[in-house]
Chain A
């Protein structure tokens, strides 16, 4: 006897990769819209860092301009770390990670869903931080090229960060484990992002910065591919 009798329900032979991925993104966005735990924590942290740097470093405009890229990326990366930790902790604490893994779907769809949601949260924080930074430091840092660097840098960061957060969340010391695992791995992306941002803010031509952009793109591809290949093993018991 069928438990499901009415409603014209259809069970697909195999859940579509993209359907599952977007279901995870939809779930994370709705949950965040309600709880506001993740973005608010990231945003408060990011704004505090900017305020502290602003008042701690009373520098002349030239030196301040030279430090902008570094301060910006320190803010984004550390705020992002809070978001990554929280994003996986939510899944683990209520056993929801098991719920996701029980779905008859390619598990990398779950990884990509979580990554895309984390990426969106990071970009939202960056989009709020940039104008506030511009006002506080009295320098216009908003430019299409810088936005492109943030887009590429944060993609590489969440690609490997989501994978490592999935590993770290299994441990009791997950809060300290994630940055210890993540920051050494993310160093090439961080350096390329800071150098490219610094060059853009100093007005260098794109040809001078192409190496850093290439490095960012290559690392984004590598990190995403590695995560795609190993996620299933990482979450396996």
Chain B
């Protein structure tokens, strides 16, 4: 297996606050990695740096063979990004939104492809409807469609379940499983432990700007993700993780 994402000694500061502290992170092709951590741990910052929306202060980042920030345009071509905001235009229809992003990604002859994507996310019948008339769950599914329109090798998801009801979250999970089953690499942050426990193949604990532990799903006892996470956090705190991190 080859690493599709390789991060070494990543440091990110906002003013005097150091959010990422010499973080090391590696993802193999085809893995579904869940980044677990409390608010302020640095999950979103890490994903924003990986997606080239934010520049690191220090560190090496390689994604799909390209380096950040120097080759950010090439990296962006390999990435699909979904955040808790849909990044969609309410006054455009579902089809028009995908058409717009398709053009931005340099796609051509993609009308059939848009229909395939809409079919995949279950919105083909609503393709002519304005996005502002969609429910939160439908918008999030369309956001996934937007993120995969250029067939990216890596999908980055920042708390995609935020604000979704049970049904919508279940539909989103089915969609993510479908994408992962097609060999795509997925990195997702979430606070929803039961949900990610059923999705991810690996769990990394990000705490105070560092990846402190990593566990494969097959090595995790059933319903044990929260206990595993809590044990890691307790261990770091008892070892003086606070002091060390500061």
Contact = CB atoms under 8 A, between A and B. Distances in A.
Interface stretch (A22-30, A54-62, A161-169, A221-229): A22-30
A11 B74 CA distance: 12
B86 A94 contact: yes
Contacts of B58: none
A9 interface: yes
A56 B104 CA distance: 49
A104 B113 contact: no
B72 to A, nearest CB: 8
B127 interface: no
A100 B100 CA distance: 10
Which of B74, B104, B109: most chain A Cβ within 10 A? B104
Contacts, number: 130
Interface stretch (B49-57, B160-168, B192-200, B221-229): B49-57
A19 B183 CA distance: 30
Nearest to A31: B91
Nearest to A27: B100
Given A3-B148, A30-B91, A96-B88, A104 B103 contact: no
Nearest to A99: B87
A66 to B, nearest CB: 42
B179 A3 contact: yes
A217 to B, nearest CB: 32
A236 B55 contact: yes
Contacts of A12: 106-108
Contacts of B83: 95, 98
A20 B53 contact: no
Interface in B167-188: 179, 182-184
A10 interface: yes
Interface in A184-237: 236-237
Interface in B81-117: 81, 83, 85-92, 96, 100-101, 103-113, 115-116
Nearest to A94: B85
Contacts of A15: 103-106
B85 A104 contact: no
A12 B103 CA distance: 10
B143 to A, nearest CB: 9
Contact of A7 (B89, B110, B183, B184): B110
A99 B90 CA distance: 14
Contact of A94 (B90, B101, B148): B90
A37 to B, nearest CB: 8
Contacts of A19: 103, 106
A4 B53 contact: no
Interface residues on A, range: 35 or more
A10 B151 CA distance: 11
Contacts of B150: 11
B108 A7 contact: no
B151 A3 contact: yes
A5 B183 CA distance: 14
A96 B112 contact: no
Interface residues of B, number: 46
Given A10-B109, A11-B107, A104-B73, A3 B101 contact: no
Nearest to B120: A3
B36 interface: no
Nearest to B115: A7
Contacts of B8: none
Could you say which of B53, B86, B103, B113 has the most chain A C-beta atoms within 10 Å of its C-beta?
A: B103
Interface string A92-119: 0011101111111110000000000000
Interface of B: 48, 51-55, 73-74, 76-77, 79, 81, 83, 85-92, 96, 100-101, 103-113, 115-116, 130, 146, 148, 150-151, 179, 182-184
Interface of A: 1-16, 19-20, 23-24, 26-27, 30-32, 34-35, 90, 94-96, 98-106, 236-237
Given A4-B113, A32-B91, A99-B87, 11 more contacts: A4-B116, A9-B113, A10-B107, A11-B106, A15-B104, A94-B89, A95-B83, A95-B85, A96-B89, A99-B146, A102-B53
8 contacts: A5-B116, A15-B104, A23-B104, A101-B53, A102-B53, A104-B76, A104-B77, A237-B55
> Ordered nearest first, which 9 A-B pairs have the shortest CB separation?
A95-B85, A7-B112, A15-B106, A99-B87, A12-B106, A23-B103, A103-B104, A237-B54, A104-B77
